[in-house]
Amino acid sequence: MKTKEKQGVGQAHIRVDGKKKVMGQARYAGEFTLDGMLYAYVVSSAVARGKVSGIKTAAAERIEGVKGVMTHANRPSILSENDDDWRDQIAPLGRPFRPLWNNVIEFSHQPLAVVVADTFEAARCAASLVEIEYERGVHTTDMVAARKDSYHPPSGKIAYNPPPETEGDPEAVFATAERKIDVTYHTPDHHHNPMEPHATLAHWNGDKLKVWTKTQGVMNTHGFLAGAFGLDEEQVEVVCPFVGGAFGCGLRPQYQLVLAALASRAFNAPVRLTLTREQMFSFGHRPYTIQRLRLAADESGRLNVFMHDADGETSKFEHFTETVVNWGASLYPAEHRKCTYNLVPLDLYTPLDMRAPGGATGVHALECAMDELSYEVGVDPLQLRLINYTETDPASGLPFSSKELKACYQRAADSFGWSRRKPEPRSMTRDGKRLGMGMATGIWEVMYMGATVKAEWKPDGTAVISTASADIGTGTYTILAQIAAEELDISTDQVEVRLGDSSLPQAPIEGGSMTAASVGSAVKKASSQLRKELDEESSRRKSGHSVTVQNQPGEEEETHAKYAHSASFAEVEIHPVTGSIRVSKLVIAVAAGKILNPKTARSQILGCATWGIGMALQEESVLDQAYGRFMNHNLAEYHVPVNADVPDTEVIFVPEEDKEVNPLGVKGLGEVGMVGLSAAIVNAVYHATGKRVRHLPIKLDSLL
Q: Which residues are catalytic?
A: 671
Query: Does 614 help bind ligand MOS (rule: CB under 6 A)?
Result: no
Query: Does 358 help bind ligand MOS (rule: CB under 6 A)?
Result: no
User: Binding-site residue total for ligand MOS (CB under 6 A)?
Assistant: 10
| CB atoms near residue 445 (< 10 Å) | 22
Query: Rounded to an integer, what distance in angstroms lies between the CA atom of residue 404 and that of residue 576?
Result: 38
Query: Does 357 help bind ligand MOS (rule: CB under 6 A)?
Result: yes
Least distance in angstroms from the C-beta of 355 to ligand MOS: 6
Query: Does 354 help bind ligand MOS (rule: CB under 6 A)?
Result: yes
Least distance in angstroms from the C-beta of 312 to ligand MOS: 15
From residue 204 to residue 223, what is the string marking binding to ligand MOS with x (rule CB under 6 A)? Answer: ------------x-------
- The stretch among 165-173, 259-267, 353-361, 385-393 that binds ligand MOS (CB under 6 A) is 353-361
Query: Does 355 help bind ligand MOS (rule: CB under 6 A)?
Result: yes
Query: Rounded to an integer, what distance in angstroms lies between the CA atom of residue 624 and that of residue 607?
Result: 30
Phi, psi of 76 (to 5 degrees): -60, 135
Query: Does 251 help bind ligand MOS (rule: CB under 6 A)?
Result: yes
Least distance in angstroms from the C-beta of 142 to ligand MOS: 25
Q: Which is nearer to ligand MOS, 225 or 354 (CB)?
A: 354
- The stretch among 245-253, 409-417, 613-621, 689-697 that binds ligand MOS (CB under 6 A) is 245-253
- The stretch among 98-106, 246-254, 442-450, 536-544 that binds ligand MOS (CB under 6 A) is 246-254
Least distance in angstroms from the C-beta of 597 to ligand MOS: 19
Q: Which is nearer to ligand MOS, 90 or 231 (CB)?
A: 90
- The stretch among 7-15, 244-252, 411-419, 564-572 that binds ligand MOS (CB under 6 A) is 244-252
Q: Which is nearer to ligand MOS, 220 or 649 (CB)?
A: 220
| CB atoms near residue 302 (< 10 Å) | 16
Query: Does 360 help bind ligand MOS (rule: CB under 6 A)?
Result: no
Burial 42-52 (b: 16+ CB within 10 A, else e): bbbbbbbbbeb
Largest Cα–Cα separation, the chain: 78
User: Which residues face 70 on adjacent strands?
Assistant: 114
Q: Which is nearer to ligand MOS, 96 or 351 (CB)?
A: 351
The answer to whether 88 touches 252, Cβ cutoff 8 Å, is yes
Q: Which is nearer to ligand MOS, 331 or 354 (CB)?
A: 354
Query: Rounded to an integer, what distance in angstroms lies between the CA atom of residue 622 and that of residue 618?
Result: 12
Query: Does 92 help bind ligand MOS (rule: CB under 6 A)?
Result: no
3-state SS assignment for residue 225: helix
Query: Rounded to an integer, what distance in angstroms lies between the CA atom of residue 382 and that of residue 380?
Result: 6
Least distance in angstroms from the C-beta of 24 to ligand MOS: 25
Query: Rounded to an integer, what distance in angstroms lies between the CA atom of residue 528 and that of residue 486?
Result: 9
The answer to whether 518 touches 555, Cβ cutoff 8 Å, is no
The answer to whether 360 touches 675, Cβ cutoff 8 Å, is yes
Query: Rounded to an integer, what distance in angstroms lies between the CA atom of residue 72 and that of residue 258?
Result: 13
Least distance in angstroms from the C-beta of 594 to ligand MOS: 21
Contact set for ligand MOS, span 500-529 (CB under 6 A): 511-512
Q: Which is nearer to ligand MOS, 8 or 217 (CB)?
A: 217
**Burial of 425: CB neighbours in 10 Å, binned 0-12, 13-18, 19+:** middle
Amino acid 80 reads S
Residues in the chain, total? 704
Query: Rounded to an integer, what distance in angstroms lies between the CA atom of residue 55 and that of residue 131?
Result: 6
Least distance in angstroms from the C-beta of 314 to ligand MOS: 16
Q: Which is nearer to ligand MOS, 39 or 224 (CB)?
A: 224
User: Which residues face 566 on adjacent strands?
Assistant: 442, 590
Query: Rounded to an integer, what distance in angstroms lies between the CA atom of residue 105 and that of residue 111?
Result: 9
Phi, psi of 201 (to 5 degrees): -110, 120
Contact set for ligand MOS, span 361-420 (CB under 6 A): none
- Positions touching ligand MOS (CB under 6 A) are 216, 247-248, 251, 353-355, 357, 511-512
